[in-house]
């Protein structure tokens, strides 16, 4: 076994994407194991624009498990972190690094402590599923460090115990979280429906909105919905199973009209269930008309085109996620969004539209004067709004479906110092 007095450090860095559900997860049948009341389906978002990077390290010199999130130390004592650490440790295998002279035996892993540093390339509190990407990345990186032999599906069941939707971040492309039946949760895992190259026409624009009000946490909200909403149970038992089959088929066939219809109606139904909860939960409209404006804009546009151009979906927060059928539609969408939600005069356009900025170029927008010159969308005709909503959106992220977790072999990307094991 490795000599604990030695001052070696073994380090792994991984990058994991976030994901947005198009058939929503809302409601647990088991709160501890995080087992859902229905299947859900998500699109993995391109990690170039939204991802978590996590470095995990093990060393005989570490005196306890420690974690830093975006450079700040946080507690690892929560049940969810502990579940993930325990489950991964219990599956650890022998690790040998001849070069460094390290050899850790399977049975000795629980004698070592780990350091974890995690970083989101997007604001943590922005409601962009940072916990999904974060827990998935933690599990994935630890599994690599500890030479866990389990496949991604089995790892997804571990990530699930950290944060339900984290299980869907273990694959790229289009992912289904199968609710499973077993009381142990062993069959409540994520499976990939199609990888990110399967339907690469899609373009995703996220309107990030700063919420002025604390929302109900999704853990609390779900619990209250399960306990009080009669519609939730009908949704879970009768509505979602059919939609899951339809959504799988839509993804399989790259059938955008069906994909958009299912995405929008399922987002609305999730928020309907929130409203049917006692007391009612308002994720969609707690602070403003923004979401309603965006929904009405997309619905009107889709109707005027005769077939859906864009799908919208809203999670348990105020951000809008808009999925355009192709790049051309995405440029038209970005023009509409900037028409309704121009940046504050003191905001740089360059920091107002981030991610894949080529969409901005395709839209012919290079400077604020181009935003000011935008014409109202043709489908609203004489109904031009008297009011624009300057400053109502913090920024837009242009992205697309993306790949699953990867190990970053380049040591320069490590978040922990190779000698000290502390954040760089």
Place of tokens 């604990």: 4
Tell me if 137 sits within 8 A of 54, measured CB to CB. Answer: yes
- Enter the tokens of residue 183: 């009381």
Query: What is the pattern of x (binds a copy of itself, CB under 8 A) and - over residues 278-297?
Result: xxx-x-xxxxxx--x--x--
Q: How far is the CB of 306 from a copy of itself (least distance, A)?
A: 15
Stretch of 131-139, 249-257, 268-276, 389-397 contacting a copy of itself, by CB under 8 A: 268-276
CB closer to a copy of itself, 307 vs 351: 307
Tell me if 264 sits within 8 A of 273, measured CB to CB. Answer: no
Stretch of 53-61, 169-177, 260-268, 404-412 contacting a copy of itself, by CB under 8 A: 260-268
Q: How far is the CB of 234 from a copy of itself (least distance, A)?
A: 4
Chain-centroid distance of CA 128 in Å reads 6
Tell me if 301 sits within 8 A of 293, measured CB to CB. Answer: no
- Enter the tokens of residue 126: 């922005």
Q: How far apart are CA 13 and CA 116, in angstroms?
A: 10
Three-state DSSP state, 272:
helix
- Enter the tokens of residue 243: 């939609």
Q: How many residues bind a copy of itself (CB under 8 A)?
A: 32
According to DSSP, the residues that pair with 72 across neighbouring strands are 69
CB closer to a copy of itself, 123 vs 391: 391
Q: What is the 3-state secondary structure (H, E, C) of 245-290?
A: HHHHHHHHCCCHHHHHHHHHHHHHHHHHHHHCCCCCCCCCCCCCCH
Three-state DSSP state, 325:
coil
Among 76, 178, 194, 272, binds a copy of itself (CB under 8 A): 272
CB closer to a copy of itself, 76 vs 295: 295
CB closer to a copy of itself, 290 vs 400: 290
Stretch of 57-65, 203-211, 270-278, 365-373 contacting a copy of itself, by CB under 8 A: 270-278
Q: How far is the CB of 269 from a copy of itself (least distance, A)?
A: 5
Stretch of 93-101, 269-277, 327-335, 399-407 contacting a copy of itself, by CB under 8 A: 269-277
Interface with a copy of itself includes 380 (CB under 8 A)?
no
Among 268, 376, 408, 420, binds a copy of itself (CB under 8 A): 268
Place of tokens 């496949």: 151
Q: How far is the CB of 285 from a copy of itself (least distance, A)?
A: 4
Cα Rg of the chain, angstroms: 22
Among 115, 271, 325, 400, binds a copy of itself (CB under 8 A): 271
Q: Is 129 left (phi over 0), alpha (psi -120 to 50) or beta?
A: left
CB closer to a copy of itself, 199 vs 283: 283
Window 197 to 256, contacts with a copy of itself (CB under 8 A) = 228, 230-231, 234-235, 238-239
Sequence-ordered list of residues with C-beta below 8 angstroms from that of 155, at least 6 positions apart, any chain:
139, 140, 143, 148, 170
Window 294 to 333, contacts with a copy of itself (CB under 8 A) = 295, 299, 303
Tell me if 290 sits within 8 A of 208, measured CB to CB. Answer: no
Interface residue list for a copy of itself (CB under 8 A)? 228, 230-231, 234-235, 238-239, 261, 264-265, 268-269, 271-273, 275-280, 282, 284-289, 292, 295, 299, 303
């Amino acid at each position: 076994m490795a000599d604990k007095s030695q001052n070696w450090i073994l380090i792994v860095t991984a990058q994991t994407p976030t994901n947005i559900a198009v058939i929503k997860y809302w409601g647990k049948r088991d709160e501890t194991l995080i087992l859902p009341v229905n299947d859900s389906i998500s699109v993995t978002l391109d990690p170039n624009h939204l991802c978590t990077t996590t470095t995990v390290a093990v060393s005989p010199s570490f005196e306890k498990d420690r974690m830093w999130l975006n450079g700040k130390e946080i507690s690892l004592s929560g049940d969810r972190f502990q579940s993930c650490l325990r489950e991964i440790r219990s599956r650890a295998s022998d690790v040998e690094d001849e070069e460094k002279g390290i050899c850790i035996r399977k049975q000795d892993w629980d004698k070592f402590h780990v350091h974890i540093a995690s970083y989101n390339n997007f604001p943590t509190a922005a409601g962009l599923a940072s916990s999904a990407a974060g827990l998935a990345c933690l599990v994935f990186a630890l599994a690599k460090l500890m030479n866990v032999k389990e496949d991604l599906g089995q790892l997804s069941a571990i990530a699930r115990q950290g944060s339900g939707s984290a299980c869907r971040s273990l694959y790229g492309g289009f992912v289904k979280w199968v609710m499973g039946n077993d009381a142990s949760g062993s069959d409540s895992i994520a499976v990939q429906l199609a990888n990110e190259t399967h339907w690469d026409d899609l373009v995703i624009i996220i309107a990030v909105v700063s919420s002025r009000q604390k929302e109900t946490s999704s853990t609390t909200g779900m619990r209250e919905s399960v306990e009080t909403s009669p519609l939730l149970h009908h949704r879970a038992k009768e509505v979602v199973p059919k939609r899951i089959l339809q959504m799988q088929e839509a993804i399989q066939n790259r059938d955008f009209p069906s994909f958009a219809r299912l995405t929008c109606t399922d987002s609305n139904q999730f928020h309907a269930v929130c409203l049917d909860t006692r007391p009612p939960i308002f994720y969609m409209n707690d602070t403003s008309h923004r979401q309603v404006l965006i929904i009405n804009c997309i619905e009107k546009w889709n109707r005027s085109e005769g077939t859906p151009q864009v799908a919208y979906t809203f999670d348990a927060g105020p951000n809008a996620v808009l999925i355009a059928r192709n790049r051309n539609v995405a440029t038209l969408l970005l023009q509409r969004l900037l028409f309704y939600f121009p940046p504050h005069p003191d905001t740089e356009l360059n920091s107002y539209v981030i991610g894949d900025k080529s969409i901005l170029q395709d839209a012919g927008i290079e400077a604020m004067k181009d935003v000011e010159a935008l014409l109202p969308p043709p489908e609203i005709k004489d109904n031009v709004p008297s009011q624009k909503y300057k400053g109502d959106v913090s920024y837009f992220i242009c992205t697309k479906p993306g790949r699953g977790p990867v190990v970053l072999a380049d040591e320069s990307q490590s978040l922990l110092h190779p000698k000290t094991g502390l954040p760089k």
